[in-house]
């Protein structure tokens, strides 16, 4: 048995620790035969270093930079996330048409095409498209670069339309002021339970396409109940961008947020 680590020298591990040094065929401890080829007194060839490095630390640091930039410039940034096709761009287009009296800006995230940014620009709002290529989410670095190009004016209400995906964007802090998840009534009521990370990370849920409710079997209350199972403090706003009940609840929520930030700034 190896007197250094207590193993039998044949590669087995003890208490989940792998073997720290090489044993020769003759049972000798070969400290100089390891990968480094030398022996430093007091230090084995292989060493265990504890680093406690947060996997998202690089993104989180860049998100913190974005956040302080938003604060300095009085920008309210809304990170909008949902599955593809739940109506993010349509809601945004209608929202921008109603916000003609204040500075707005949009960062559009999609894997490919600038279709969404084109739709946004038609409303007269400045927009920049970020194509993530194979990427499945926006990250803080992309948003920082987009900010450089968009150069929004002081006090802008900035919408960041994330890549349509209910999984990956949840993990990436962009430095946003609030996170909003959209759920359309043509999806299942159990979406929040199927994709809990996304709903748990959200401040508000916008229920979209509510004008379709008379024509389909969808229980809005059940959707809300499920969403609050993963995020008990979630704000819920039921809307339709193309019919009743309109998008007033969402606009009021945005106004409330703006007032809250204006008061905090004074």
What whole-number distance in Å separates Cα of residue 60 and Cα of residue 65?
A: 9
Using rule CB under 8 A, residue 137 touches another protein: yes
Angstrom distance (rounded) from CA 154 to CA 146: 16
User: Which of these ranges, 65-73, 121-129, 154-162, 224-232, lies near another protein under the rule CB under 8 A?
Assistant: 224-232
149 CB-side CA count, 13 A: 14
**One of 14, 28, 193, 222 touching another protein (CB under 8 A):** 193
Q: Is 45 one of the binding residues for another protein (CB under 8 A)?
A: yes
Please report, for residues 17, 39, 125, the alpha-carbon distance to residue 92 in angstroms, rounded to integers and kept in the order given.
54, 64, 10
Query: How many CA within 13 A on the CB side of residue 77?
Result: 30
Which member of 1, 41, 53, 214 binds another protein (CB under 8 A)? 53
**For another protein, which is the closer residue by CB, 41 or 214?**
41
Does 172 help bind another protein (rule: CB under 8 A)?
Answer: yes
Question: Which member of 15, 25, 50, 101 binds another protein (CB under 8 A)?
Answer: 50
| Burial grade of 42 (CB within 10 A; 0-12, 13-18, 19 or more) | exposed
Of 71, 230, 236, 251, the one binding another protein (CB under 8 A) is 230
Within 13 Å, how many C-alpha atoms sit on residue 40's CB side? Answer: 7
Q: Does 38 bind another protein (CB under 8 A)?
A: no
CA–CA separation, 148 vs 194, rounded Å? Answer: 36
56 binds another protein (CB under 8 A): yes
By CB under 8 A, name the binding residues for another protein.
Answer: 16, 18, 34-36, 45-59, 135-137, 139, 167-168, 170-172, 192-193, 196-197, 200, 226, 228-230, 232
């Amino acid at each position: 048995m190896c007197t250094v680590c207590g193993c039998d020298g044949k590669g087995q591990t003890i208490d989940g620790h792998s073997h720290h040094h090489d044993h020769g065929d003759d049972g000798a401890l070969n400290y100089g035969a390891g990968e480094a080829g030398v022996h430093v007194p007091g230090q084995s060839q292989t060493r265990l270093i504890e680093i406690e490095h947060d996997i998202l630390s690089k993104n989180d640091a860049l998100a913190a930079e974005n956040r302080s930039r938003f604060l300095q410039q009085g920008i309210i940034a809304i990170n909008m996330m949902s599955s593809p096709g739940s109506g993010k761009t349509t809601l945004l287009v209608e929202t921008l048409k109603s916000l003609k009296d204040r500075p707005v800006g949009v960062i559009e995230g999609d894997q490919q095409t600038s279709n969404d940014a084109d739709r946004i620009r038609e409303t007269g709002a400045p927009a920049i498209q970020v194509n993530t290529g194979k990427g499945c989410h926006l990250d803080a670095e992309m948003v920082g670069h987009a900010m450089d190009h968009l150069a929004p004016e002081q006090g802008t209400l900035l919408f960041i339309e994330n890549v349509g995906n209910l999984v990956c964007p949840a993990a990436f802090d962009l430095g946003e002021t609030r996170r909003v998840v959209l759920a359309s009534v043509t999806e299942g009521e159990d979406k929040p339970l199927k994709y809990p990370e996304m709903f748990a990370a959200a401040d508000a849920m916008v229920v979209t396409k509510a004008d379709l409710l008379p024509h389909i079997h969808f229980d809005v209350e059940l959707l809300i109940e499920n969403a609050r199972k993963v995020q008990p403090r979630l704000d819920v706003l039921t809307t339709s961008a193309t019919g009743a009940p309109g998008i007033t609840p969402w606009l009021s929520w945005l106004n409330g947020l703006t007032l809250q930030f204006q008061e905090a700034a004074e």
